[in-house]
């Protein structure tokens, strides 16, 4: 059987963490105390079971608090949106707990709250997800309610009408938020309307959703054979008969294969300026399509991003925040999905320094490709990733989410067994290679949402690419 990690698993890191002789007692040290060997990190053994209808169930027992976190992940993420109805997956997920199993929205919410439980519904590009946090004693009742939400949502007309108005209003107010505009503009301009990642939910697409659309989408994608239930915390496999009973009548059904189109070509760098008059800061996003979660370069990319923009001491944050004071924080990331999600970097910078900030962004993106990363910087990034694993797995919710992620991306359950080893094996040459392969300052979309009257001349003077003026209405409509 596959498992999450072997017992007694020890984090091994480089010489920087080797044991040192005990320091002299009493005297105040003027150099940092050396850290001894990293502690052993044991993880619980997950137990995998399956129901006759195909539902995969993963039990992750952990000692300590009488708390359970469950996640049910299924198809029905935004990648399953029809091309003419972006936002349907999100709307369907949101409607799951607006009445289910014959209880109306208020009765359902009341029943969950009465158990002291928290139930969440949501979706990402690659999954629909229902989460449940509950004290162990209340788990059976809460799990029944969770199964109603997943299997038997009622999608009542009255709730649909209300939620639709709420979403339309939310969309109308999204135009007030520079960060939202920047995010929408970035994905739209990077991927275009021919790719799911580039399509935006609009007033028109929301208006077009009716009850039968939701029922159809739910029936098509929410099926046990392509779903996984994760139960972590005060649980063990003796719960399985209960789980079987609760999820037994979830009917099987053939779920269509997922079509994942490749990203569009990105021939050159262009700057898109979206005017937000009188804004005290410019929201900057820059990047391009990059890489999917199944890349063999996963670990090298994680190390690359940690030292480029994924940690406080990363180059982008040190440069833009700690050296120049242009921003409260700058960062970057690779959004690794089933398809090739974007590489993006960004910050909110003081309006007057918008062009100066972009010069620094491009400088760092170029430098990470051109120069081999120094050893101390590389080691720090690797250790940061590897040694943080215990605190990334500190809570029941964190562990359950990690296991659910393995299910969504079809990764082995012993995935974390060699996580540390593979992270520590990344070399400076690997980092430079993946930087050159996946970071392209010469083929980048740059979005600036800010005060055009102040920032436009500076942007036009930059030697990075042509400047186009765009309107907020194009990205929030």
Partner 1 sequence: MKRLSILLVFLASPVAGQDVSLPHTMFTLPNGLQVIVHEDHSAPIAAVNVWYHVGSGYEQPGRTGFAHLFEHVMFEGSANVPRGEFDRLLEAAGGSNNGSTTPDRTNYYETIPSNAVELALWLEADRMGRLLETMTQQKLDLQREVVKNERRQRYENQPYGTFFEVVFDALYPDGHPYSWPTIGSMEDLSAASLEDVESFFRRYYIPNNAVLVVAGDVDTEEVRRHAERFFGEIPAGAPVEKPDIAVPEIPETQYLTLEDRVTLPQLNIAWRAQPFFAEDDDALDALAQILGDGKNSRLFRRLIYDDQIAQDVVAFNNSQLLSGDFFIRVTGREGLELGQLEEATMEEIARIAETPPTDEELERVINGIETTFVSSLERALGKADQLNLYYYYTGDPDYSAEDLARYRSLTPSDIQAAARTYLEGQNRIVISIVPEGETELAAEGAVTR
Paired tokens of 453 = 């009257």
Minimum Å gap between C-beta 215 and partner 1 is 22
Considering beta carbons, is residue 46 or 465 the nearer one to partner 1? 46
Considering beta carbons, is residue 7 or 466 the nearer one to partner 1? 7
Minimum Å gap between C-beta 198 and partner 1 is 25
Length of the chain: 477
Minimum Å gap between C-beta 307 and partner 1 is 10
Considering beta carbons, is residue 176 or 245 the nearer one to partner 1? 176
Minimum Å gap between C-beta 50 and partner 1 is 29
* Rg, Å, the chain Cα set: 24
Residue 182 CB-half CA count within 13 A: 23
Minimum Å gap between C-beta 146 and partner 1 is 15
Minimum Å gap between C-beta 39 and partner 1 is 3
Paired tokens of 286 = 């820059």
Considering beta carbons, is residue 193 or 323 the nearer one to partner 1? 323
Strand 103-104 versus strand 445-450 pairing type: unpaired
Considering beta carbons, is residue 21 or 29 the nearer one to partner 1? 29
Residue 442 CB-half CA count within 13 A: 7
Closest CA to 55 of 220, 225, 239: 225
Strand 103-104 versus strand 327-334 pairing type: unpaired
Minimum Å gap between C-beta 401 and partner 1 is 13
Residue 155 phi, psi dihedral angles, 5° rounding = 45, 60
Angle, alpha carbons 330-390-20 (nearest 5°): 95
Considering beta carbons, is residue 85 or 305 the nearer one to partner 1? 305
Burial annotation 152-173 (CB, 10 A radius, 16+ → b, else e): bbbbbeebbeebbeebeeebee
Considering beta carbons, is residue 178 or 189 the nearer one to partner 1? 178
Paired tokens of 299 = 């670990």
The DSSP secondary-structure symbol of 319 reads I
Q: CA separation (Å) from 48 to 149, 407, 446?
A: 23, 11, 45
Complete edge-to-edge strand list for the sheet that includes strand 56-61: 47-50, 56-61, 228-233, 67-74, 128-135, 118-123
Residue 334 phi, psi dihedral angles, 5° rounding = -105, 115
Considering beta carbons, is residue 290 or 357 the nearer one to partner 1? 357
Considering beta carbons, is residue 208 or 325 the nearer one to partner 1? 325
Minimum Å gap between C-beta 142 and partner 1 is 10
Minimum Å gap between C-beta 187 and partner 1 is 21
DSSP string, 23-80: PPSSSPPSSPPPP-SPPB---PPPEEEE-TT--EEEEEE--SSSEEEEEEEES-SGGG
């Amino acid at each position: 059987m596959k498992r999450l990690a072997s017992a007694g698993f020890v984090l091994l890191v480089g010489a920087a963490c080797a044991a040192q002789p005990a320091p002299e007692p009493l005297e105040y040290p003027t150099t940092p105390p050396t850290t001894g060997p990293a502690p052993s990190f044991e993880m619980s053994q997950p137990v995998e079971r399956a129901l006759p209808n195909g539902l995969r169930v993963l039990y992750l027992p952990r000692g300590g608090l009488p708390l359970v976190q469950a996640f049910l992940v299924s198809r029905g993420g935004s990648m399953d949106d029809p091309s003419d109805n972006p936002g349907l997956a999100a709307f369907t997920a949101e409607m799951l707990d607006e009445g289910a199993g014959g209880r109306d929205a208020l009765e359902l919410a009341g029943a969950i709250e009465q158990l002291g439980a928290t139930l969440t519904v949501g979706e990402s590009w690659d999954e629909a997800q229902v989460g449940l946090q509950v004290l162990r004693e209340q788990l059976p009742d809460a799990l029944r309610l969770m199964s109603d939400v997943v299997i038997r949502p009622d999608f009542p007309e009255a709730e649909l009408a209300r939620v639709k108005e709420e979403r339309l209003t939310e969309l109308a107010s999204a135009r007030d938020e520079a960060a939202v505009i920047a995010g929408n503009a970035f994905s739209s301009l990077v991927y275009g309307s021919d790719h799911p990642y580039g399509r935006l939910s609009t007033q028109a697409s929301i208006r077009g959703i009716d009850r039968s659309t939701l029922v159809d989408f739910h029936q098509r994608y929410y099926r046990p054979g392509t779903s996984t239930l994760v139960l972590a915390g005060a649980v063990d496999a003796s719960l399985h008969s209960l789980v079987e009973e609760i999820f037994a009548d979830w009917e099987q059904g053939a779920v269509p294969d997922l079509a994942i189109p490749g990203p569009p070509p990105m021939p050159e760098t262009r700057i898109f300026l979206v005017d937000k008059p009188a804004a005290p800061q410019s929201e900057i996003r820059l990047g391009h399509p990059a890489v999917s979660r199944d890349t063999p370069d996963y670990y090298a990319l994680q190390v690359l991003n940690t030292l480029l923009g994924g940690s406080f001491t990363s180059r982008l944050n040190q440069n833009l925040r700690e050296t120049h004071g242009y921003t409260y924080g700058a960062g970057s990331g690779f959004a690794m999905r089933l398809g090739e999600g974007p590489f993006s970097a960004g910050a909110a910078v003081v309006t007057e320094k918008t062009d100066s900030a972009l010069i620094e962004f491009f400088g760092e993106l170029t430098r990470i490709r051109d120069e081999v990363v120094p050893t101390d910087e590389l080691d720090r990034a690797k250790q940061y990733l590897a040694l943080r694993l215990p605190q990334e797995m500190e809570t029941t919710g964190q562990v359950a989410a990690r296991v659910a992620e393995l299910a969504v991306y079809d990764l082995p359950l012993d995935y974390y067994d060699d996580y540390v080893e593979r992270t520590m094996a990344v070399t400076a040459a690997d980092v430079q290679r993946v930087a050159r392969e996946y970071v392209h300052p010469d083929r980048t979309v740059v979005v600036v949402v800010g005060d055009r009257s102040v920032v436009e001349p500076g942007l036009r003077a930059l030697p990075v690419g042509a400047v186009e003026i765009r309107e907020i209405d194009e990205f929030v409509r």
